[in-house]
């Protein structure tokens, strides 16, 4: 079915590929990965009849394929060597022995050290260009906000897709903000920020959270995201727990329908030109909704980014692969997950599995019976969805308020005790003052007696 090819540095060793067309490309990549681990200077040319021809590649160009391989995680299968039998697998290196002194570390210390290491891995791996993210705002018309919500949009969308949601929540008394993710929305016209950049986006979220805390002192701040935005909000909550009072994450899972088709398409464009954008919006929109009016609105919005490069999609995939690690790092923060049961883009089971990875005990999963992929954006929310979010936030506002009331009651009790002590001290002072008056009176009486005795003495002396 497939032609064999040889690698010069391996003295004519050939590898044959066997299998159906749905798995051809992945198997080719995985076998090349095995060969290149043994030689950095080989060049390879692979010919697959009626499918695709991979041009000769140097080791440096192969880096793109290695990255794709790391994302697929599929086993090498149906590969035979002309020398007979399967090619020798490359065994992992033996674990290094640990000195006994290091083993004395407690389980709690190990867990803490592991958590710190994972947090460092999740944080920006490079210095992102700083700046203010484009932000839209919806505030209550008259009353003071009871809480703040910061929204993060999904792949290909922009902050304006939260307009209807923001107005609705502002009417319920919330201050709502929405920012653009780097590479989307207004960023498409910003020089130096027009490509997807998740590290830069996390920096933007951190800066925005700090600004909102200063602008709304004392108010709880909730981070809300949908799809890609749900994953971004998940990670931001994991690495900035002191800035987030609660997380609302809609369809954040990485498990998607037709995922292998997407991988194959990305792989082909990766080889042709990894930085050249191509249309991914058509497939995303067709899977995300069955509503024709929403499809038209989505595809015609000039602020939506429907063309992405293979490199941008690989960065997106790598970011989404960290979701489960992020969930395990959320220890205390309250979390609400939302999933539409009619979602044809993200698998509901993937959201459930991610929910189960959350370390926090304060967690809730709400399933929207007739919900598609979008729950909050593009005016797709329902009264049911709004009520679920509002009630969840209000329940946690009551918890915060009761906590504050408890602290106030304790402070009041301490004040009463202090006042009682002051009254007792005043009474003691008065008693001491009274005793002093009595002592003064006694002193005066003693002085009077002394003077009387002196008078008697003088009289006696006169008589003599």
Query: Can you give the CATH number for the domain in which 126 is found?
Result: 3.40.50.1820
Please state the length of the chain. 464
Instruction: Please report the pLDDT score of residue 139 as a whole number.
Output: 96
Write out the DSSP string of 316-370: HHHHHTTHHHHHHH--SS-EEEEEETT-SSB-HHHHHHHHHH---SSEEEEEETT
Q: Are 136 and 280 contained in the same domain?
A: yes
Domain of 162, in residue numbers = 112-402
Round to whole Å and give the CA distance between 323 and 340: 19
Q: Are 125 and 239 contained in the same domain?
A: yes
Instruction: Please report the pLDDT score of residue 398 as a whole number.
Output: 85
Give Cα separations from 266 to 26, 69, 154, 254 (angstroms).
12, 12, 19, 16
Among candidate residues 65, 377, 319, 325, the one with its CA nearest the CA of residue 197: 319
Round to whole Å and give the CA distance between 268 and 204: 33
Boundary residue ending a domain (30, 58, 81): 81
Does some domain include residue 293? yes
Instruction: Please report the pLDDT score of residue 83 as a whole number.
Output: 25
Q: Are 281 and 353 contained in the same domain?
A: yes
Q: Are 64 and 134 contained in the same domain?
A: no
Round to whole Å and give the CA distance between 348 and 339: 6
Does some domain include residue 414? no
Round to whole Å and give the CA distance between 435 and 14: 112
Instruction: Please report the pLDDT score of residue 191 as a whole number.
Output: 75
Q: Are 135 and 179 contained in the same domain?
A: yes
Task: Tell me the Cα Rg of the chain.
Answer: 36
Instruction: Please report the pLDDT score of residue 151 as a whole number.
Output: 98
Q: Are 19 and 160 contained in the same domain?
A: no
Q: Are 72 and 132 contained in the same domain?
A: no
Instruction: Please report the pLDDT score of residue 263 as a whole number.
Output: 83
Q: Which helix (H) or strand (E) holds 10?
A: none
Instruction: Please report the pLDDT score of residue 32 as a whole number.
Output: 42
Q: Along the chain (464 residues), what's the average pLDDT of each consecutive run of 10 residues? A: 35 37 42 41 40 41 46 35 31 37 57 64 54 89 92 97 97 97 91 85 95 96 98 97 97 90 86 92 94 95 94 93 95 97 95 96 95 96 93 90 48 51 56 56 56 50 48
Cβ pair 62, 30 in contact under 8 A: no
Round to whole Å and give the CA distance between 206 and 198: 12
Among candidate residues 386, 351, 147, 70, the one with its CA nearest the CA of residue 234: 351
Boundary residue ending a domain (402, 419, 436): 402
Q: Are 64 and 182 contained in the same domain?
A: no
Q: Are 130 and 71 contained in the same domain?
A: no
Q: Are 26 and 125 contained in the same domain?
A: no
Cβ pair 253, 278 in contact under 8 A: no
Round to whole Å and give the CA distance between 393 and 390: 5
Among candidate residues 341, 397, 410, 334, the one with its CA nearest the CA of residue 369: 341
pTM of the model: 0.67
What is the total count of domains within the chain? 2
């Amino acid at each position: 079915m497939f032609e064999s090819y040889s690698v010069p540095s391996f003295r004519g060793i050939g590898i044959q590929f066997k299998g159906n067309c749905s798995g051809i490309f992945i198997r080719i990549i995985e076998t090349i990965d095995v060969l290149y681990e043994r030689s950095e200077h080989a060049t390879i040319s692979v010919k697959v009849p009626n499918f695709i021809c991979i041009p000769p590649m140097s080791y440096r160009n192969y880096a793109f394929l290695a990255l794709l391989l790391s994302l697929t995680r599929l086993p090498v299968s149906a590969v035979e060597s002309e020398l007979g039998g399967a090619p020798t697998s490359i065994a992992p290196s033996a674990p290094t022995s640990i000195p006994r002194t290091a083993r004395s570390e407690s389980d709690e210390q190990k867990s803490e050290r592991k958590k710190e290491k994972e947090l460092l891995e999740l944080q920006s791996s490079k210095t992102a260009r700083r700046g203010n993210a484009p932000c839209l705002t919806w505030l209550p018309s008259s009353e003071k906000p009871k809480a703040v919500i910061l929204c993060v949009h999904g792949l290909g969308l922009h902050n304006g897709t939260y307009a209807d949601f923001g107005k609705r929540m502002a009417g319920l008394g919330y201050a709502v903000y929405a920012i653009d993710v780097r590479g989307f929305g207004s960023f498409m016209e910003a020089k130096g920020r027009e490509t997807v950049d998740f590290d830069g986006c996390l920096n933007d979220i951190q800066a925005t959270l700090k600004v909102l805390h200063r602008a709304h002192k004392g108010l709880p701040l909730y981070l809300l995201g949908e799809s890609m935005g749900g994953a971004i909000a998940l990670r931001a909550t994991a690495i900035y727990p002191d800035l987030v009072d609660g997380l609302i994450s809609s369809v954040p899972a990485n498990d998607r329908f037709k995922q292998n088709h997407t991988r194959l398409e990305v792989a082909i464009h990766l080889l042709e030109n990894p930085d050249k954008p191509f249309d991914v919006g058509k497939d995303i929109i067709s899977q995300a909704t069955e509503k024709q009016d929403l499809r038209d609105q989505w595809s015609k919005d000039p602020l939506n980014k429907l063309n992405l490069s293979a490199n941008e999609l690989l960065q997106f995939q790598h970011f989404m692969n960290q979701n489960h690690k992020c969930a395990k790092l959320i220890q205390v923060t309250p979390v609400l997950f939302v999933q539409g049961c009619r979602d044809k883009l993200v698998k509901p089971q993937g959201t459930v599995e991610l929910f189960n990875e959350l370390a926090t005990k304060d967690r809730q999963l709400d399933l929207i019976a007739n919900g598609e992929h979008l729950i909050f954006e593009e005016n797709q929310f329902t009264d049911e969805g709004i009520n679920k979010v509002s009630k969840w936030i209000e329940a946690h506002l009551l918890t915060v308020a009761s906590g504050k009331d408890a602290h106030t009651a304790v402070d009041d009790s301490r004040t009463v005790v202090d006042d009682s002590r002051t009254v007792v001290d005043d009474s003691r002072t008065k008693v001491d003052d009274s005793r002093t008056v009595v002592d003064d009176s006694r002193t005066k009486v003693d002085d009077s007696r002394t003077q009387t005795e002196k008078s008697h003495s003088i009289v006696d002396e006169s008589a003599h």
